[in-house]
Amino acid sequence: MINGNLRDLDTLSESVRNQTIKSLITLSKYWGAHTEFKKRLNDYGIKVHRPSSFNSFLRILKSNNSNITKWYNNTLPNLRSNERTFLRFVLYSGMRKTEAIRSFNLIIELHRDDRLCEYYSKLPKSETKCLQHFKYHKMFLRNTKNVFISFIPEELINEIANSKHVTYPMIIKRMHRNKVKCRINELRDYYGTYLLHHGLLEQEVNLLRGRIPPSIFIKHYWSPKLSELRDRTLKAIRVLEQSL
């Protein structure tokens, strides 16, 4: 594709097209042909399209997050015990479903091997207990989709540790069987919005969601105290738990 007809990119959907272009740019750098490939993109007039502010507005307008807690409460009775625990884990962590499944099952496996302290442990120079996803690079660090840490109540960690593994196909199958629409991904959006409404800064919410914005201040100067961030995050989660 780097040396082929770049016009074929126009046949792809916008999201796939953007990811393909980014992948080709990375590949061209690896091959030492970035300058030539960049010129070819310019010659073809091909650019990575970024969502417009209007599209972002439309997404907000169409969002159903206002009733996501109702969906959550109505869905729980249709799931098995371990799946109910998983759904709670997603809501309290704000992780993507794939990340949450990996983390959930990893907690179980490490607990069985008496090694859970390697994952749910103290951060360096801190008494802050949290899930340290960053220790498991291949599982949780994936280019632009990352998750570094999660502050989760210890009682929920213990409940997961003594639970059974979960798989996404089984959860989907159970929801379809009970005619329940799957809205697991929306729990991530709700988590971020909820924390913003309960005292956390946007930078802090981004950190917990695995996002480090391309800001000089954030990358080089911002140093939040993790123990304080833990306390405010867990306080917000406790309020959320009481409201469900």
Task: Say if residue 61 is exposed, middle or buried (CB neighbours under 10 Å; 0-12, 13-18, 19+).
Answer: exposed
CATH architecture assigned to 63-243? Orthogonal Bundle (1.10)
At 1 the pLDDT is 55
Query: What is residue 4's predicted lDDT score, i.e. its pLDDT?
Result: 64
The pLDDT score that the predictor gives to residue 51 is 59
Encode the chain (244 residues) as per-residue pLDDT tens digits: 566 667 667 666 666 777 777 777 887 787 777 788 787 777 767 777 665 554 554 454 455 556 899 999 999 999 999 999 999 999 999 999 999 999 999 999 999 999 999 999 866 656 678 999 999 999 999 877 899 999 999 999 999 999 999 999 999 999 999 999 999 999 999 999 999 999 999 999 999 998 876 666 556 556 778 889 999 999 999 999 999 8
**Model pTM score:** 0.74
CA distance to 45, 69, 129, 224, 233, per residue, from 227 (Å): 49, 28, 8, 9, 10
Token pair for residue 95? 């992780």
d(CA 194, CA 212): 19
Find tokens 């907000």 and name the residue.
60
The single residue listed with the structure tokens 């794939």 is: 98
Instruction: Locate the domains of the chain by residue range.
Output: 6-44, 63-243
- Res 27: pLDDT: 77
Strand partners for 121: 130
State the pLDDT at residue 58.
46
